[in-house]
Amino acid sequence: MVRTKNSFDTDWLFHKGDIPIRYAVKAGMTGGITDCEKLEEGDWLDIAFVDKSVDADSVPKDWVSVHLPHDWCIEGDYINDPNLGSRPASSGYLPTGIGVYVKVFDIAKADLGKKISLEFDGVMRNSTVWVNGHLMGTHTSGYTSFMYDLSDVLRYGDEGKNVVCVKVDATESEGWWYEGCGIYRHVWLTKTERLHVAHWGTYVTTPVVTESYSDVRIRTTVENAYSISAAALVTSTVIDKQTGEAVGSFSSGGLIDSVSNRTFEHTVLVVDPKLWSPDTPHLYQVLTEIRDRDGKVVDVYETTFGIRTIEFTTDRGFFLNGKPLIIKGTCNHQDFAGVGVALPDRIIAYKIELLKEMGSNTYRSAHHPATPELLDACDRLGMMVIEENRKLDSSPEGIDNLKRMLYRGRNHPSIIMWSMENEEILEGTVMGARILQTLSDVTHAIDPTRPTTAALNHGWNGGGYAEAVDIVGYNYGQREDQDVNDHVTYPNRIMIGSESASCTTTRGIYETDEIRGYVPAYGTVYPSWGCTPEKAWSDVVQNPFLTGIVVWTGFDYRGEPTPYEWPCINSHFGIMDTCGFPKDSYYYYKSVWTNEPVLHIMPHWNWEGREGELINVRIYSNCDAVELRLNDVSLGRQTMIPNSHLAWDVPYESGELTAIGYKDDVAILEKRVATADAPNQIKLMPDRTTIQRDGKDVVVIRVAVADAGGRIVPTADNEILFKIEGSGTIIGVGNGNPSSHESDKSNRRKAFNGYCLVLVQSNGAAGTINLRASSAGLATETITIETV
């Protein structure tokens, strides 16, 4: 057998709330059931619980069956308690707590003697794991991966069934935003022979890259878990992932001491390399093959990588593959409507796709290491990544978590820099600088190919703090032009706008509403540290040494409600809302970040009762000029202001606003906004009509309320009821309303300013999924999704 890595996500039992965990069955024993004792069918509950109400022959009381990823926090009810979370309302007014997961599984007799490990991509937050009553360990970070070797404590074949029990304590937060609760990332069961590639055991670099060739250097650590020395022949084959063709190979061998490891170094020459970039995210793969002294293949290990070069300069910004590239980034937390932080892989990719459509090329994982599947999606789709360490912490635990992030991520071509911390209280102090220098040194030792940075909020220049990293991140450096002034004072400093704008807007809202907690979409409301999107982007255009900006944030996120607290449950910072519906500012960024012709009119044109009042009409565009017409009457043509917007004050009358965009005096684009009539029908707009039937794939269905003529009603708030039949399940709903207290785990949702969202996941069965949407007084809509 060679390596297998199988999903361990299905068929868990979950109990919300604390219970005593029995880790020994016999009095005076600490190791659980002995290997010689049989575990009969149904008796497994006895080693996991001491709850006397448990019936060992059935699903225990107050337990539910779940599949991972799972976030139990999103399933709760909102409570107006500002003490929830590490800061007022930071958890989004949802209570956290403690939960317990249990899974029963079999291990074949033939697996005896192999190395079998259980790997968790992320558990929020403190987790303790027992297997067959044996305490495996505790992991306190909610954002880093961890694994346990189960080989010694498993039951093989007729020795009995195996039980893994995971207790998750999420009562304490790591951050000040919504973090969720539970096993919210994937879990994997990996089996290898005792001679195998070590965990995260390959490191691929491309130190020499030209148009005609690239050196691919591969360092492979092979682990020998036998009690005697072992000979290994290691072969590294580089494969073009797009074509599947091998483009080069190298082999070497040697003896590895017992219970030890050895690193083998190979260099493979790739001719005419295809370079990775956001526009051409070409990927390669190293296939590592281990043979024992008899020539038998005992392990095969796959490593995805890309060939590209990065360079950061003091005065000209960033260069990718030798060409200048402005970083057009967004900061993002990890949640999404309907699922909390337990994002299926498809939702992760969907978010990246939305950002790319807007023109973004960089994703800052704020303020923690990203899930592995997000890095995979960024590699595949072409999104550069600033991967961020959670804390400024050089304790053994802090260094361990940093190393986990580095070893796991360093082969991803999407990652262009490592961020050591964000806005820590010790910034600008001598002690803070010592800690930061230690983190930076550890990072350079593990991965010397990428620069380190830190996202600094204050005290940039105190205590030698800024000198401890390669690139100085300026969070909101536009305050008193500190970033520009620092460039004059420190001309040899490499800089980046690591966090910018922080402008608050509510989708579809054009006036301040303090009662409901809404702010206008014009972008006129921002905190003291923030600025408008136009100011943030103009600073970069005028000052190339700033390298680029990373906007706070790509999406609204739960928790940290800003600028209002209750009834608001999430922030208003996003360029898109929690469902991924664009706000008006989305089109500003698209107009300056892409070469695609853009023409956008705001606001909507439904202002009944305000006839004759002046309505501020704003245009975002990258055309040369724009003409605005109301009911076929021209309101004039204006020359487009670079990196800005156009505005008209228009006396309201119902009808149709038309914007016409011109290039070189030729009309190339036309957009209309019409007054909609009363709600009449539902429109269902799936992102795809065919999905995998693997029980994991998800279709994202945007739901709109329209009038009889098909125009979206921009003020509609009708409640939509969803009914599903066939090979799918509704896993969540949302509407982007920052003050909605409706459950995300439901089959119904009110529209917010014309839109809501439903997420449907395949259930593993072949066939079709039929989704029906209905609402009182509206025409029903049904769509069919094929599963393949």
Tens digits of residue pLDDT in 668-698: 999 999 999 999 999 999 999 999 999 999 9
Average pLDDT over residues 647-653: 98
Q: What angle do CA 486, 487, 490 make, to 5 degrees?
A: 75
Position 38 confidence tier, pLDDT thresholds 50, 70, 90: very low
Query: Average pLDDT for residues 713-731, to the nearest whole number?
Result: 98
Kindly report, residue by residue over 554-597, the tens digit of the pLDDT: 999 999 999 999 999 999 999 999 999 999 999 999 999 999 99
What's the whole-number average pLDDT of the chain?
Answer: 93
pLDDT higher at 1 or 765:
765
- Residue 44: is its pLDDT beyond 50? no
Q: CA-CA distances (angstroms) from residue 586 to 223, 455, 506, 575?
A: 49, 24, 12, 5
Rounded-to-integer distance, Cα 607 and Cα 153, Å: 69
For 154, the token pair is: 């498993």
Question: Hey, how many other C-beta atoms are within 10 angstroms of the C-beta on 77?
Answer: 9
Could you tell me how many helices (H) and strands (E) the chain has, helices first? 7, 44
Q: Which residues contact 522 (CB under 8 A, 6 or more apart)?
A: 505, 510, 584, 602, 616, 618
Residue 563: its pLDDT value, please?
A: 94
Q: Which CATH superfamily is domain 195-305 in?
A: Immunoglobulins (2.60.40.10)
Q: Does the domain spanning 314-593 belong to CATH 3.10.290.10? A: no
Check if the beta carbon of residue 221 is closer than 8 Å to that of residue 282: no
451 with 417: CB under 8 angstroms? yes
Q: What confidence tier does 88 reach under pLDDT thresholds 50, 70, 90? A: confident
Q: Residue 21 corresponds to which amino acid?
A: I
Annotation marks residue 608 as catalytic: no
Torsion of CA 478, 482, 484, 485, to 10 degrees: 160
- What does the pLDDT read at residue 334? 94
Pairing relationship of beta strands 162-169 and 187-192 according to DSSP bridges: unpaired
* pLDDT on residue 718: 98
Where does residue 97 fall: left (phi above 0), alpha (psi -120 to 50 degrees), or beta otherwise?
Answer: left
Q: What is the pLDDT of residues 359-376, one digit of tens each?
A: 999 999 999 999 999 999
In this prediction, residues 233-247 reach a mean pLDDT of 97
Categorize the per-residue pLDDT at 741 as very low, low, confident or very high, splitting at 50, 70 and 90: very high
Measuring CA to CA, which residue among 26, 746, 660 is closest to residue 339?
Answer: 746
Question: What's residue 442's pLDDT?
Answer: 98
Looking at residue 481, its pLDDT comes to 84
Contact 574, 580 (CB under 8 A): no
pLDDT at 120: 98
CA 47 to chain centre: 36
Which is higher by pLDDT, 22 or 20? 20
pLDDT at 48: 44
Q: pLDDT digits over 610-630, tens only?
A: 999 999 999 999 999 999 999
Q: pLDDT exceeding 90 applies to what percent of the chain?
A: 89
For residue 339, the model assigns a pLDDT of 98
Catalytic entry in 423, 467, 565, 653 = 423
For the stretch 155-174, pLDDT in tens is 999 988 898 999 999 999 99
Q: Please determine, for residue 463, whether its predicted confidence score (pLDDT) is greater than 60.
A: yes
| C-alpha atoms less than 13 angstroms from C-alpha of 235 in its C-beta half-sphere | 15
* Rg (the chain; Cα; Å): 28
pLDDT at 722 exceeding the cut of 60: yes
* pLDDT level of residue 26 (50, 70, 90 thresholds): very low
In single-letter form, the type of residue at position 417 comes to M
What pLDDT, on a 0 to 100 scale, did the predictor assign at position 24? 37
Arithmetic mean of pLDDT, 395-400: 98
- Give the domain ranges of the chain: 4-190, 195-305, 314-593, 605-674, 681-787
Among the listed residues 648, 599, 651, the one whose alpha carbon sits nearest the alpha carbon of residue 620: 599
- The pLDDT of residue 42 is above 60: no
Residue 771 host element (H or E): strand 767-775
- Count of CB atoms within 10 A of residue 635's CB? 17
List, for residues 516-558, the tens digit of each pLDDT value.
Answer: 999 999 999 999 999 999 999 999 999 999 999 999 999 999 9
DSSP string, 334-359: S-BTTTBT---HHHHHHHHHHHHHHT
Cite the beta strand spans of 360-434 per DSSP E. 362-365, 384-388, 415-422
**Within this chain, domains 195-305 and 605-674 share the same CATH topology:** yes
| pLDDT tens figures, 89-138 | 888 999 999 999 999 999 999 999 999 999 999 999 999 999 988 999 99
Looking at domain 681-787, does it have CATH number 2.60.40.10?
Answer: yes
What H or E segment, with its residue span, contains residue 147? Answer: strand 146-149
CATH architecture assigned to 605-674: Sandwich (2.60)
3-state class (DSSP) for residue 398: helix
> Do 299 and 3 contact (CB within 8 A), yes or no?
yes
From 174, 289, 421, 499, active-site residue: 499
| Confidence grade of residue 45 (pLDDT, cut at 50, 70, 90) | very low
* Superfamily of domain 4-190 in the CATH hierarchy: Galactose-binding domain-like (2.60.120.260)
Report which of residues 85 and 274 the model is more confident about. Answer: 274
Structure tokens at 114: 């192999």
**Residue 47 pLDDT > 90, yes or no?**
no
159 among known catalytic residues: no
As a dihedral over the C-alpha atoms of residue 391, residue 397, residue 399, residue 405, rounded to 10 degrees, the angle is -70
Return the H-helix or E-strand segment holding 485: helix 482-489
Are 452 and 470 spatial neighbours (Cβ–Cβ below 8 Å)?
yes
pLDDT at 319 over 60: yes
State the alpha helices, DSSP H only, in 186-289. Answer: none
Q: Which pLDDT value is given to residue 58? A: 52
Query: Given a cut of 90, is residue 299 above it in pLDDT?
Result: yes
Residue 419: the pLDDT is: 98
Mean pLDDT of 220-249: 97
